[in-house]
Amino acid sequence: MVVLAVGAHPDDLELHCFGTLAKFVKNGHTVYTSTIANGNKGHYQIKPRELAETRLKETSDAAKLIGATYIGLDVADMMVDSHDRDQQKKAVELIRKVKPDLIITHGSGDYMSDHTETAGLIFYAAFASSLPSYPAELPFHDDVVPVYNMENASGIGFVPDEYVDISEEFELKLDAIRCHKSQMEWLSEHDGFNMLDSARIFAEFRGMQCSVKYAEAFALFKKWPRLRSQRLLP
């Protein structure tokens, strides 16, 4: 199976689904990670161009750590727009290139616009990529694939459908988060947010809910024709 995980920014996937992605890889599946935005505005000292380059390396390193392949779409922070035709085409091309059997991304109720607009872009592109006459460079993907929404940034209003036991993958998930040194500094200074502590709290809480040590939680995007009769998460 081919899995595509799309986050708004570098580090979003690491926080909310990297244990699951690592488990997919361990089970022999092919995993691609992508970010719509390049993370160029999230720091006090590092200027946007340098920061985008820094965060590209950080997220590429994190993907390599779990055996995934990273593809960035290079939209500036706070400019993600699900109605922008160029961004729609980029998202369609991403799906046509990867040809996933499953997509993991943000939900529409997440905490900031880049996240919710990413959800909208993937909703649009997952269908448009299957249309033979949609104008794009790559040939159409002959499936409208299932989409799972990952945990949002604070868990507020998020109701899971499925859980993935990441007890064996949890330390690797933390190592992937540690790749994002610039973002760990920014979130600590800007929001008083500790990425490693947050990851552990969420994983323990979701693990408690499903009777394992550590887990990640997901909500299936319930729209036709994306539903399948078999379990797709590992």
- Check residues 148 and 43 and name the one with the higher pLDDT: 148
Q: Where is average pLDDT lowest: 10-24, 180-194, 213-227?
A: 180-194
The mean per-residue pLDDT over the stretch 136-162 comes to: 92
Q: Which residues pair with 31 in a beta bridge?
A: 3
Read off the amino acid at residue 142: D
50-94 pLDDT per residue, tens: 999 999 999 999 999 999 999 999 999 999 999 999 999 999 999
State pTM to two decimals: 0.96
Supply the mean pLDDT for the chain: 95
Q: What is the pLDDT of residue 192?
A: 83
pLDDT in tens, 95-144: 999 999 999 999 999 999 999 999 999 999 999 999 999 988 899 998 99
What the block records as the tokens of 144 is 């409208």
* Total count of residues recorded for the chain: 234
Please say whether the beta carbons of 43 and 51 come within 8 A. Answer: yes
Higher pLDDT, 183 or 201: 201
Question: What average pLDDT does this structure show over 25-49?
Answer: 95
Dist CA 230 CA 51 (whole Å): 42
> Hey, where are the domains in the chain?
2-220
Matching residue, tokens 């909208």:
120
Residue 183 has pLDDT above 90, yes or no: no
At residue 193 the predicted structure's pLDDT band, cuts being 50, 70 and 90, is: confident
Using DSSP's 3-state secondary structure scheme, residue 218 falls into: strand
Answer with the residue of higher pLDDT: 42 or 220: 220
User: In which band, very low, low, confident or very high, does the pLDDT at 45 lie, cut at 50, 70 and 90?
Assistant: confident
CATH no. for 2-220: 3.40.50.10320
Angstrom distance (rounded) from CA 201 to CA 209: 12
By the 10 Å C-beta count (0-12 exposed, 13-18 middle, 19+ buried), 77 is classed as: buried
Q: Which amino acid is at 15?
A: L
* For residue 43, pLDDT beyond 80: yes
pLDDT at 188: 83
Per-residue tokens: 84: 């922008």
The number of beta carbons lying within 10 Å of the beta carbon of residue 221 is 20
Per-residue pLDDT tens for 61-70?
Answer: 999 999 999 9
Whole-angstrom distance, CA of residue 24 vs CA of residue 29: 5
